[in-house]
Structure formats: C-alpha cells, structure tokens
C-alpha cells in the first residue's frame, strides 16, 4: 500500500509533467541570459532623443530588479550611454554585464532594414535560432515603444521569422510594463499585432513625414537620391551625426562633362542614330571616378554601364539617355517639379536642343509590324563563333535577316553579321532534311492523328452539350420573371445575367482545329517527302521541329563565306560551307583599315580606272563617298572638265545594257560616264529594266560534309564552345 508521502511524490510528478501555466511561461527565466535591445531609426536621435536613451538605462535597472545579476553599476551604464550621446571616441555599443547583454549596435539604423544590415538584429536571430538552450537569450528587454524596436519590416518577413524564433527559444519579451511569451496563444497574437502596428506606423511615418521632406528637398533642386547623370557630381553640404553626407545640388564634373559634349555632338552629326554615334565614339569612355570621389560610383547613373579598365563604355543606351537628359542644361526634374537654371549646365543649350529634337523625332514611333511574327526556321539555334565566346545570332523575321549585333548594341564593335536569312537557312534546311529520316514513324503519327481527331470531336460534342444546357437554363429562368417578390425577381435577373455571361464566354472560346483524318499512306507520303512539304508548313512549326532535333548551329563567317556546323541532338554533325556573291549588304561593304590606307595613298593622284582596279569589289560612287568621309582631297581632277553629249550610239548601248539588267556601275564604266549620268539618261529615255532584273536573287552555293562518326575531326574544324 502506498504511503501518503509516496502519493504526494506521484502527484508532484504529475504536476511537473503538466503543461506549464501562463504564469510559468511569463516568469522571467533567471537561469538564462537577458538582452537589452536598443534601436533608434536615425543617428540624430541618439543625440536628440534624450527620453529614448534614458529608457535604455532604465531597462538595465529593470533587468536588475527582475533578478538578473550584473556587475556594472547603474551610474556606469548611464555614463556609457551619455558618452554615446556625446559621440565621444571609443564609446561601446555592445557589452556583456554578468547575465545581461546590452546591445546598442542598431542605434541609428532603420527598423525597416533586415538582419543583413542590422548587426544587433542578426546577432539576436542567430542566438535565438539555437533553440531553448541554457545559454540562449531567455528575455529581451525593449523600451516602451515595444516591438517596433525589433523590426518594422514592410514585407512582414523579418517579424514573422522573429516571432517564430522567439517561440522556439521560449524567449520572453519584456517592456517596462509587461512580459509576453509567444508560446502563449494570446501573447503570440498580441506580439503579431504589435509587429503589424510597427510596420504600419513606419509606413505612415514615411508617407506623412519623409515624403513631404523629400518633396521639399526636391523643390529646392537638391539631390534626393536620383541617379546622377554623367557630367555631374553631388555637392556635399555637410555631414550627418552618423557621418553620412548631407547632399546639396548637382554640380558639374568637367572630366565627364566634356565627354557629354562630345557624345551629343556626335549624336547630332549622326542625325540621331545612337548606334552610329556609339560606333564613331568607340574607344572613348567616361573616366572612372578618382578615389576622392569614390562615393559617386554608387550614385552616378554610370553605375549601370559596362565598364573596362579605363572607364565606363559609351553604349547606344547611354547616348540615348544623355540626349534626353534635361539636367545637362541645368533643368532639374523630379516627379512633377521642374526648375530651370537649378544648377550649372554642362553642355551648350543649342547642342542639347538639337540632340533632344533628333531624339524626340526618332523615338516612340509605333511599329505595328512586330505585333505578330513567326520565327525564322533556324531561330534560336544559330551561334556566331567569330567572338571570344559564342554569341547568339538573332533572327529578324520582319526583314528576313540573321543578325549578330550584340557588340554593336553595346557600343563596343560593329555589327558582326547581318545577312539575308535565305543565305543561311536554305543550305542548312536542305542538308538537314536530306539526312532526316522519319519514315519509320508513320504508324505512330497516324495513331496520334486519329487520337487528336477523336479528342477534337469529343470537345466539340461537349461544347454543344454545354451550350444546350445553358440555353435551357436561360429559357427556364426567363419564364420565372414577373414574380411579385422583388427579392426573388432580382435573384432571377442576376442568374439570367450570369448564365448569359457563361454562354457568351463559351461561344467566344475559339473552336478547336478540326482534324481531317488521312490514311496511313498519306502520312507515309508526308514523312517520305518532308523536303517537298516543308515550304507548305508554317515557320513556327518548322522552327519547333528543328529545335527538337538540332542542338545548335555554329557559324564562322567572313566576307562571302560562311562555315556552319549543324550539331544534331543525337550527336550527328554536318559541316556546310556556304558561299554567295558578297558585297551588297552594308556590313559586307564596310571599309577595312587596310582599304582606307590604300585609298589615302591612291586618292590624291591616280585615275578613276586605277581606283576601280585597286578596289574591284567597289563602285566609283562608293570610293568617292569614302574619300569624302575620310576628308581626302584630289590633286588632279577625277572627271574630265568638259561635258560630252550623249550620242545615238551611246543611247542604244545604254538601252541594250540597261534592259538586260547589267549593273549600273558596269554600264557607267562601259560608257565612261558617271553613275548618276547613266541613271538620269535611262530615266529621260524612259528605259525600264525587266522586273526580274530589278530584283535579282543572289545565288547561294554550298558544300556539305557529313560526319558519320568515323572521321578524325580536327579540333579547329569543330570548335566546342562552352554553352
């Protein structure tokens, strides 16, 4: 039989096993460390908010009164806080005093920020994340402002994390007036509401206080955080108590300002083409900020630009931005605030106005053509290997061109490749289809076709059924109308409206494409003759098929010649060497440095025939134009000084050559006249070229080399870039 003493022990054990009461949970655990947590939003508050700082000293006293063992006297704590307020050197913001940790490292840091920018908060969260251990903070002492000291996170993420950590670590939140433990349901709700209130309060503060403050600063034309355009730096008016800058207006920065002028001059010279301007300015950069202006790196709009060792690269986007940047002429613009002559301009007004007009004239033109397009067959598969790293060649289906222009858009080089898509697509497609053999899948394709046909039929039947159901329902509802009960009447009308809406939506839904069942032979024929059927297919489908089967096409190109290697997903490779009559696209006509040098040497003295012989791929008009661009002068006349009349023989010869479609340059050379003279005479005589001569299709030839996996392929032939 149990004794009374034993029964009492059993009952005591039961009590010990029972859930702790709310009173137990709110009791301050003196066996675990406590933490006094101080935070003020603005560094100025440390000096100015005497009440807040005094409260921190009070918190230490409260902790001591709660029973925590400390070694520092209250006077010493107050002295340390006072030193902090006076910004004395070597002040401490964090100390451990017996069982008490005083952490003031977040003083002067906004509560909106997360632990990545708040050392005290990060430390607290790391500590709490260790759970309910003996050495983990058991009580947090907060001033009367409560949880807003911990976080005012607007996304409520930090507050939610904190709440969870506090609960898991069984950590109490102690303010001068109350103790809360998130393990108690009611306390958890209170804490959550307080975090919410803190976040809302911060938002209101921002809207009611800081918003007007920024606006008032902006109205004075002073820096309010906008990226500073190139050509300016920010005037520093002073320093805040925390050492932060107090900014004034923007002021000119000559090293960048002179670049601004050069850019706008070039932009105007290029008639508003930011790309041409970027090309012309290749090599010119905005110098990097010197160490004493390092703080500008984060504040200048150049921070988003491409950078090399010498400075910030001038891209077409930079040029475009500058041409519309009002600040360059001293106009301050912030939201709806405009201040003329706010700061010193860095570019002449005339130049800016000209650039602005060009930009305004060019920009914003709607281009409806791009609203819908089908991709080119090989879109997304072509890679240009004429660079250090492979570059994607984009397909411009609106003008049917393959273009490799990343360097050009970045302002670091010319357009690498711009070519009629047929020059590449035709050989690649021909060779690809020649090797593709899908005939063995005729049965599977046929089965799938039948399945899809059945699905479409089922969909159509279902749709008809739904439509009939809705119509019946609508008819029924309409018979109920005219009820004496207004509420019922209203309900019917509402339902009728809803059913009508559903019916309309169903009718507007696009009909599924009907599938005409073909027999297996038709499918077989299609797969056998894919080459013949190819042009009947939409380019998006052709592109889909190619993307399914081809991994990539690597392209190395030079004038008039392209080497393309088709790499199939199954590993099969085809090398296609494409040749075409080069010289008609702008990219192909580009003058090289060597040609420029040769022209400089020849231009002053040699005859027209010599020039044409020296540049066999070029026309006389092209040579003259280039010479003008280079600023070259002739020492002898290029053309005879007197004009020779057209003879009957000349006219007959002109008619014969012109109608045949002979290039105008060749006719001009044949008749020893200028191109404009030839064209003008042909126009005068009303000679028309044949239509097919006007639109000559360039001949593309190619040679293929299929790799069967048996050849030893040299690495130079098959570059394997890192994709």
Partner 1 sequence: MKSGLLVEYMVSGFPHLRQVSGLPETLMPDFAKASHTLGDEAMLKVGEPLGLVERVKTMLSQAPDPSTVPPGIWEQGISNWPPIHQVRSVTMALLRACEKVEALERRGVLKISPALVRGLAAIAYAPFSPNGSGLLSKLADILGVTVEEPARLIDRYMTAVATGDADTPAAVDRCILEDPAWREWSQRLLATGRDFPFQPRVIGICPQLTSGLKQVLVSMMMEVINAYDRRDYRN
Q: Which residues contact 572 (CB under 8 A, 6 or more apart)?
A: 435, 706, 707, 709
Q: How far is the CB of 437 from partner 1 (least distance, A)?
A: 3
Q: How far is the CB of 420 from partner 1 (least distance, A)?
A: 12
Q: Which is nearer to partner 1, 182 or 395 (CB)?
A: 395
Q: Which is nearer to partner 1, 176 or 512 (CB)?
A: 512
Its sign, for the CA torsion 12, 15, 20, 24, is negative
Q: What gap in Å lies between CA 321 and CA 305, rounded to an integer? A: 12
Q: How far is the CB of 512 from partner 1 (least distance, A)?
A: 11
Looking at 709, 714, 715, 723, which residue binds partner 1 (CB under 8 A)?
709
Q: How far is the CB of 254 from partner 1 (least distance, A)?
A: 49
Is residue 18 a contact partner of residue 25, using CB atoms and an 8 Å limit? no
Comparing CA positions, the residue from 332, 355, 342 lying closest to residue 261 is 355
Q: How far is the CB of 595 from partner 1 (least distance, A)?
A: 27
Give the three-class secondary structure for 236.
strand
Residues 561-600 that bind partner 1 (CB under 8 A): 568-570, 572, 577, 579
Terminus-to-terminus CA distance in the chain, angstroms?
83
Q: How far is the CB of 442 from partner 1 (least distance, A)?
A: 10
Comparing CA positions, the residue from 47, 25, 226, 59 lying closest to residue 132 is 25
β-pairing verdict for 285-287 and 245-252: unpaired
Q: Which is nearer to partner 1, 117 or 544 (CB)?
A: 544
By the rule CB under 8 A, 538 interacts with partner 1:
yes
By the rule CB under 8 A, 400 interacts with partner 1:
yes
Looking at 535, 592, 641, 648, which residue binds partner 1 (CB under 8 A)?
535
Q: Which is nearer to partner 1, 24 or 533 (CB)?
A: 533
Looking at 295, 441, 506, 511, which residue binds partner 1 (CB under 8 A)?
441
Q: How far is the CB of 226 from partner 1 (least distance, A)?
A: 40
Q: Which is nearer to partner 1, 237 or 369 (CB)?
A: 369
Q: What gap in Å lies between CA 246 and CA 234, rounded to an integer? A: 10
586 by Cβ neighbours in 10 Å (0-12 / 13-18 / 19+) ranks as exposed
By the rule CB under 8 A, 460 interacts with partner 1:
no
Give the three-class secondary structure for 398.
coil
Q: How far is the CB of 572 from partner 1 (least distance, A)?
A: 5
Q: Which stretch in 40-48, 320-328, 544-552, 633-641 sits in contact with partner 1 by CB under 8 A?
A: 544-552
Looking at 28, 261, 449, 496, which residue binds partner 1 (CB under 8 A)?
449
Residues 355-394 that bind partner 1 (CB under 8 A): 369-370, 372-374
Q: What gap in Å lies between CA 222 and CA 250, rounded to an integer? A: 7
Q: Which is nearer to partner 1, 50 or 517 (CB)?
A: 517
Sheet of strand 394-396, all strands in order from the earlier edge strand to the far edge = 394-396, 401-404, 417-420
Q: Which is nearer to partner 1, 348 or 512 (CB)?
A: 512
Q: Which stretch in 61-69, 447-455, 471-479, 638-646 sits in contact with partner 1 by CB under 8 A?
A: 447-455
Q: What is the DSSP string of 616-634?
A: TTS-HHHHHHHHHHTT---
- Token pair recorded at residue 328: 């360059």
528 by Cβ neighbours in 10 Å (0-12 / 13-18 / 19+) ranks as middle
Q: Which is nearer to partner 1, 88 or 457 (CB)?
A: 457
Q: What gap in Å lies between CA 632 and CA 637, rounded to an integer? A: 13
By the rule CB under 8 A, 298 interacts with partner 1:
no
The secondary element (H helix, E strand) that includes residue 319 is helix 316-323
Looking at 19, 51, 440, 716, which residue binds partner 1 (CB under 8 A)?
440
By the rule CB under 8 A, 422 interacts with partner 1:
no
Q: Which is nearer to partner 1, 212 or 400 (CB)?
A: 400
- Total binding residues toward partner 1, as defined by CB under 8 A: 55
Q: Which stretch in 14-22, 228-236, 542-550, 680-688 sits in contact with partner 1 by CB under 8 A?
A: 542-550
Looking at 155, 344, 444, 460, which residue binds partner 1 (CB under 8 A)?
444
Residues 40-99 that bind partner 1 (CB under 8 A): none
Q: How far is the CB of 553 from partner 1 (least distance, A)?
A: 15
Q: Which stretch in 118-126, 472-480, 483-491, 695-703 sits in contact with partner 1 by CB under 8 A?
A: 695-703
R_g of the chain, CA atoms, integer Å: 40
Q: Which is nearer to partner 1, 153 or 431 (CB)?
A: 431
Q: How far is the CB of 547 from partner 1 (least distance, A)?
A: 9
Q: Which is nearer to partner 1, 93 or 522 (CB)?
A: 522
Looking at 541, 652, 696, 718, which residue binds partner 1 (CB under 8 A)?
541
Q: Which is nearer to partner 1, 422 or 585 (CB)?
A: 422
By the rule CB under 8 A, 423 interacts with partner 1:
no
Looking at 434, 590, 600, 660, which residue binds partner 1 (CB under 8 A)?
434
Q: How far is the CB of 563 from partner 1 (least distance, A)?
A: 13
- Token pair recorded at residue 379: 């879109």
Q: What gap in Å lies between CA 88 and CA 91, rounded to an integer? A: 6
Q: What gap in Å lies between CA 398 and CA 369, rounded to an integer? A: 7
Residues 472-531 that bind partner 1 (CB under 8 A): 513, 515-516, 518, 522-523, 526-527
Q: How far is the CB of 395 from partner 1 (least distance, A)?
A: 12
Q: What gap in Å lies between CA 81 and CA 51, rounded to an integer? A: 12
Q: What is the DSSP string of 61-84?
A: HHHHHHT----S-HHHHHHHHHHH
Q: Which stretch in 381-389, 429-437, 588-596, 604-612 sits in contact with partner 1 by CB under 8 A?
A: 429-437
Q: Which is nearer to partner 1, 201 or 579 (CB)?
A: 579
- Token pair recorded at residue 532: 């013949």
Is residue 65 a contact partner of residue 103, using CB atoms and an 8 Å limit? no
Q: What is the DSSP string of 585-649?
A: STTTTPPPHHHHHHHHHHTTT--HHHHHHHSTTS-HHHHHHHHHHTT---SS-SS-SSPPPPPHH
Q: Which stretch in 135-143, 150-158, 333-341, 697-705 sits in contact with partner 1 by CB under 8 A?
A: 697-705
Give the three-class secondary structure for 550.
strand
By the rule CB under 8 A, 712 interacts with partner 1:
no
Looking at 26, 217, 452, 473, which residue binds partner 1 (CB under 8 A)?
452
207 CB neighbour count, 10 Å cutoff: 10
Give the three-class secondary structure for 227.
coil
Beta strands in 318-365 (DSSP E): 332-334, 337-339
Q: Which is nearer to partner 1, 41 or 425 (CB)?
A: 425
Q: What is the DSSP string of 252-299?
A: E-HHHHHHHHHHHHHHHHTTT-HHHHHHHTTT-EEEPPPGGGGGGTTT
Would you tell me which residues interact with partner 1 (CB under 8 A)?
369-370, 372-374, 397-398, 400, 434-438, 440-441, 444-445, 448-449, 452, 513, 515-516, 518, 522-523, 526-527, 533, 535-539, 541, 544-545, 548-549, 568-570, 572, 577, 579, 701-706, 708-711
């Amino acid at each position: 039989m149990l004794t009374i003493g034993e029964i009492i022990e059993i009952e005591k054990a039961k009590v010990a096993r029972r859930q702790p009461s709310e009173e137990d949970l709110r009791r301050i655990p003196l066996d675990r460390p406590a933490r006094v947590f101080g935070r003020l939003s603005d560094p100025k508050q440390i000096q100015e908010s005497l009440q807040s700082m005094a409260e921190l000293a009070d918190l230490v006293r409260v902790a001591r009164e709660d029973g925590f063992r400390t070694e520092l006297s209250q006077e010493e704590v107050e002295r340390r806080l006072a030193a902090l307020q006076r910004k004395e050197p070597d002040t401490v913001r964090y100390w451990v005093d017996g069982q008490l940790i005083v952490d003031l490292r977040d003083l002067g840091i906004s509560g909106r920020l997360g632990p990545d920018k708040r050392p005290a908060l990060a430390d607290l969260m790391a500590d709490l994340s260790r759970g309910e251990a003996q050495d983990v903070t058991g009580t947090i002492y907060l001033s009367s402002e409560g949880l807003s000291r911990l976080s005012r996170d607007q996304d409520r993420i930090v507050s939610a994390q904190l709440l969870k950590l506090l609960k898991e670590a069984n950590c109490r939140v102690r303010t001068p007036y109350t103790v809360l433990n998130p393990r108690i349901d009611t306390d958890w709700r209170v804490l959550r509401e307080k975090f919410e209130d803190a976040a809302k309060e911060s938002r209101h503060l921002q809207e009611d206080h800081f918003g007007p403050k920024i606006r008032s600063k902006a109205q004075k034309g002073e820096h309010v955080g906008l990226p500073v355009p190139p050509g300016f730096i920010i005037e520093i008016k002073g320093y805040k108590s925390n050492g932060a800058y107090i900014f004034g207006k923007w002021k000119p920065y000559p090293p960048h300002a002179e670049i601004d002028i050069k850019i706008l001059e070039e932009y105007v010279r290029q008639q508003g083409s930011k790309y041409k301007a970027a090309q012309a300015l290749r090599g010119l950069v905005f110098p990097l900020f010197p160490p004493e202006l390092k703080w500008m790196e984060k504040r200048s709009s150049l921070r988003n630009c491409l950078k090399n060792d010498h400075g910030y690269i001038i891209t077409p986007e930079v040029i475009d931005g500058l041409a519309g940047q009002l600040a360059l002429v001293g106009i301050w613009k912030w939201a709806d605030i405009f201040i003329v002559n706010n700061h010193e301009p860095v570019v002449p007004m005339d130049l800016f106005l000209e650039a602005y007009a060009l930009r305004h004239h060019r920009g914003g033109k709607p281009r409806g053509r791009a609203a819908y397009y089908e991709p080119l067959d090989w879109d997304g598969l072509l890679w240009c290997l004429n660079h250090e790293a492979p570059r994607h060649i984009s397909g411009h289906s609106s003008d049917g061109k393959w273009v490799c222009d990343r360097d050009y858009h970045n302002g670091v080089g010319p357009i690498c490749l711009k070519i009629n898509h047929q020059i590449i697509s035709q050989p690649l497609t021909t060779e690809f289809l020649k090797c593709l053999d899908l005939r063995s899948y005729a049965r599977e394709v046929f089965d799938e076709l039948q399945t899809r046909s059945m699905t479409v039929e089922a969909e159509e039947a279902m749709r008809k059924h739904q439509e009939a159901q809705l119509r019946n329902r609508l008819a029924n509802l309409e018979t109920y109308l005219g009820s004496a009960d207004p509420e019922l009447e209203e309900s019917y009308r509402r339902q009728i409206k809803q059913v009508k809406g559903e019916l309309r939506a169903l009718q507007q839904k696009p009909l599924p494409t009907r599938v005409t069942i073909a027999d297996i032979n038709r499918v077989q024929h299609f797969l056998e003759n894919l080459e013949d059927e190819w042009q009947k297919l939409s380019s998006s489908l052709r592109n889909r098929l190619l993307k399914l089967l081809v991994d990539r096409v690597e392209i190395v190109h030079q004038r008039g010649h392209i080497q393309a290697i088709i790499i199939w997903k199954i590993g099969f490779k085809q090398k296609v060497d494409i040749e075409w009559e080069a010289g008609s696209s702008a990219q192909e006509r580009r003058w090289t440095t060597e040609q420029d040098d040769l022209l400089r040497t020849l231009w002053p003295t040699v005859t027209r025939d010599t020039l044409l012989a020296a540049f066999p791929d070029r026309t006389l008009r092209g040579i003259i134009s280039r010479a003008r661009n280079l600023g070259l002068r002739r020492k002898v006349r290029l053309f005879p000084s007197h004009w020779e009349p057209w003879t009957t023989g000349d006219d007959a010869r002109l008619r014969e050559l012109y109608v045949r479609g002979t290039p105008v340059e060749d006719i001009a050379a044949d008749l020893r006249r200028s191109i404009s003279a030839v064209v003008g005479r042909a126009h005068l005589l009303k000679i028309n070229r044949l239509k097919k001569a006007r639109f000559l299709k360039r001949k593309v030839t190619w040679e293929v080399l299929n790799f069967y996996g048996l050849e030893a392929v040299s690495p130079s032939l098959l570059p394997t870039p890192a994709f």
